[in-house]
Amino acid sequence: MGLAWKRPLIATGLLLSLGLAPPVMAETPPDMLVVGGRIDDIITLDPAEVFEFNGAEVSANIYDRIMMYEPENLTELVGGVVESWEISDDGKTITFTMRPDLTFHSGNPVRPDDAVYSLKRVVKLNKTPSFIVTQFGWTEDNVDELIEVVDENRFRITITEDFSPGLVLNALSATIGSVVDEQVVEANAVDGDMGYDWLKNHSAGSGAFELVTWNANETVVMESNPDYRHGAPAMQRVVIRHVPEPAAQRLLLENGDIDIARTLTPDQIAGLAGNDDIVVTDHPKATLYYVAANVAVEELSDPRVWEAMKYLIDYDGMEETFLQGQFVQHQSFWPKGTWASADAMPYTLDVEKAKALLAEAGYPEGFELQIDSLNTAPFMDMAQSVQSTLAQGGIRTEIIPQDGSALWPKYRARRHQLILARWGPDYLDPHSNADSFASNPDNSEEAGLTGVLAWRNAWADDEITEMTAAARSELDLERRKEIYEELQLLHQVRSPFAIMFQQNEQVASRSNVEGFVSGPVFDLVYYRNVTK
């Protein structure tokens, strides 16, 4: 219909484009990687502050960290800028030896002073991710004594709280373990801000790439570091383009305007089958999707109701349809495929059992509640599926979809009833998740443990909290693993968390692109081995 009257317009446009313009270029240059994704979450690229998915990804390619998981082997923790380390007998002090001859992008050598400066910077700036290291007992006042340079190629850290050294090393592989170039940063510092303003959109690292520009909601452009310690990356330039629409991303990929599409939906991926120019690769993630009940709500205070809820989710139905390929079922708080995970999955959709449990808890007729959810895919589809199966058991819910900026304040203030949300660990140690899902040392309103999921849902189980503390400080690796496995199984049954799925990132790329690595944690995405 609409075409007839639009023809003059299109004709004018086409005259311009076909008659005069050079043909539309449909291939990216050979030494340039163009990635399509969503980067609207980036608000800073300062490694002491970065805590958003995409910001952490970019920083992983710009900064080498003290400890690292390298793309060649994502399960082995190795030294980044450090070559080796020594742990004292009491497990409280670790002395690191730097790799020789490393340089920053600026040409400055990477010294132990830089590593010490970077860690102190995290503690002193005290931004959101600083808790990853301040939990070891570091504060603005004592950090100068606890983190210090030993000699020209060694530095030492001392912790005051009880933590397993393995956990400490793992924590130093998070973004806050990134080593920044002290001389460059201090040269750009204003009023003693340790370069806080400047590092937001500049880089001073020693990683495989250097930041060229970051235009919020548009692009991130990185250029390769020819002197990188693993050799210069094959790609001269990496451009990450913000393409929020999955359909648009797919179009761009099929037309060769981008090389890699990061956020396609399962249905888009299915639509790509049969296209020989496109390859789809799987990258298991540690991100978990769960439904949680705020136990401060009267109807949700009974553990039998929580159990009923776990039986009122159509895990199979969702996994086989709209989540196909991008999510796998997982029901404990530490994701499978990682050290110390427990993979038992006792729950399936069982309406009768759930009804019985609800009746036992005094709700034979069910009740009405609200369920909060993010308003993006796949949350909305998940929420609608959960809504319909909960209703079968008698729990009638109204979905309140909202943006993160509206949902998180509500969640942190414990004002939700049921919530559908996701969680990814901050570093690859089970403590990262146990500390949030399981441990809740003070459930009072005043405690304000707003970063802790258990506290947000007003749920505290003393035995589980104690087990979490015991696990984090256990020095014996085998024993530590056993405690975590036990803890997960206990948590699975006793908690108001119905953990449902673990994410599996499906990355679609042009068939000539190889070597892209996306690790289980959000800050382990590497472009340096990519060839095309």
Partner 1 sequence: MASSPPVPSWRAWLLLDVPKSSFQARCQRAYIGWLAFSSNPLALTGFLIILTLVLAAIFAPLITASDGLAPDLRNRLLPPSGEHWFGTDQLGRDIFDRIIWGARITLYIVGLVAIIVVPVGLVVGVVAGYMGGIVDQVLMRITDIFLAFPRLILALAFVAALGPGIENAVLAIALTTWSPYARIARAEALTIRRSEYIMAARTQGASLARILVSHVAPMCLASVIVRLTLDMAGIILTAAGLGFLGLGAQPPSPEWGAMISTGRQFILDQWWVPTMPGLAILIVSLGFNLLGDGLRDVLDPRGQER
Partner 2 sequence: MANAAAELPGTPKGVPAEAADSLAFRLWRRLRAVGGVLLSLALTFLGLTFVTFIIGRVMPLDPVLAIVGDRAPQHVYDAVYQQLGLDQPIWVQYLRYLGGILSGDLGTSVQTSRPVLDDLMRFFPATIELATLATLVGVVLGVPMGVLAAVHQGRLIDHCVRLVGLIGYSMPVFWLGMVALLVFYAKLGWVPGPGRLAVFYEGMVPAVTGLLLVDSLLAGNMTVFWNAVDHLILPVSILGTFALAYIARMTRSFMLDQLRQEYILTARVKGLSERAVIWRHAFGNVLVQLITIIGLTYASLLEGSVLTETVFAWPGIGQYITNALFNSDMNAVLGGTIVVGTCFVGINMLSDALYRVVDPRAR
Residues that bind partner 1 (CB under 8 A): 245-247, 250-251, 265, 267-268, 270-271, 314, 317-318, 320-322, 375, 377, 380-381, 383-385, 387-388, 399-403, 406
Give the span between the Cα atoms of 176 and 169, in whole angstroms.
Answer: 12
How do 327-329 and 497-510 pair as beta strands?
A: antiparallel
Interface with partner 2 includes 232 (CB under 8 A)? Answer: no
Q: Element (H or E) spanning 35, and its range?
A: strand 32-37
Question: Between residues 221 and 418, which has the closer beta carbon with respect to partner 1?
Answer: 418
Contact 284, 502 (CB under 8 A): yes
Size of the site for partner 2 (CB under 8 A): 68
**Residue 28 touches which member of partner 2, partner 1, none, C-beta under 5-8 Å by kind:** partner 2
**Residue 130 touches which member of partner 2, partner 1, none, C-beta under 5-8 Å by kind:** partner 2
Nearest distance in Å: CB 483, partner 1: 39
Question: Between residues 155 and 527, which has the closer beta carbon with respect to partner 2?
Answer: 527
Applying CB under 8 A, among 43, 328, 469, 470 the residue interacting with partner 2 is 43
* Sequence-distant (≥ 6) Cβ neighbours of residue 206 within 8 angstroms: 63, 64, 81, 102, 103, 104, 105, 110, 179, 181, 225, 229
Interface with partner 2 includes 442 (CB under 8 A)? Answer: no
Q: Is 194 helix (H, G, I), strand (E, B) or coil?
A: coil
Q: How far, in whole angstroms, is CA 159 from its chain's centroid?
A: 26
Nearest distance in Å: CB 532, partner 1: 24
Interface of this chain with partner 2, residues 331 to 390, rule: CB under 8 A: none
Nearest to 182 by CA among 216, 206, 151: 206
Interface of this chain with partner 2, residues 382 to 441, rule: CB under 8 A: 403-406, 408-412, 426
Q: Return the percent helix, strand and coil in the chain, to nearest 5.
A: 35, 25, 40
Nearest to 37 by CA among 54, 51, 61: 54
How do 82-87 and 77-79 pair as beta strands?
A: unpaired
Contact 23, 248 (CB under 8 A): no
Interface of this chain with partner 2, residues 256 to 315, rule: CB under 8 A: 257-258
**Residue 126 touches which member of partner 1, partner 2, none, C-beta under 5-8 Å by kind:** partner 2
Nearest distance in Å: CB 378, partner 2: 18
Whole-Å CA distances, 252 to 23, 218, 297, 318: 16, 15, 47, 28
**Residue 317 touches which member of partner 2, partner 1, none, C-beta under 5-8 Å by kind:** partner 1
Question: Between residues 126 and 348, which has the closer beta carbon with respect to partner 2?
Answer: 126
Question: Between residues 231 and 451, which has the closer beta carbon with respect to partner 2?
Answer: 451
Angle 451-415-466 from CA coordinates, rounded to 5°: 40
Contact 90, 132 (CB under 8 A): no
Nearest distance in Å: CB 196, partner 2: 10
**Residue 475 touches which member of partner 1, partner 2, none, C-beta under 5-8 Å by kind:** none
Tokens found for residue 375: 């308003």
Count the Cβ atoms, other than its own, within 10 Å of residue 182. Answer: 22
Question: Between residues 192 and 274, which has the closer beta carbon with respect to partner 1?
Answer: 274
Site of interaction with partner 2 (CB under 8 A): 1-2, 5-6, 8-10, 12-14, 16-18, 20-22, 24-26, 28-29, 32, 34, 40, 43-44, 51-52, 126-128, 130-131, 200-201, 213, 215-219, 221, 239, 241-245, 248, 251-252, 254-255, 257-258, 403-406, 408-412, 426, 448, 450-451
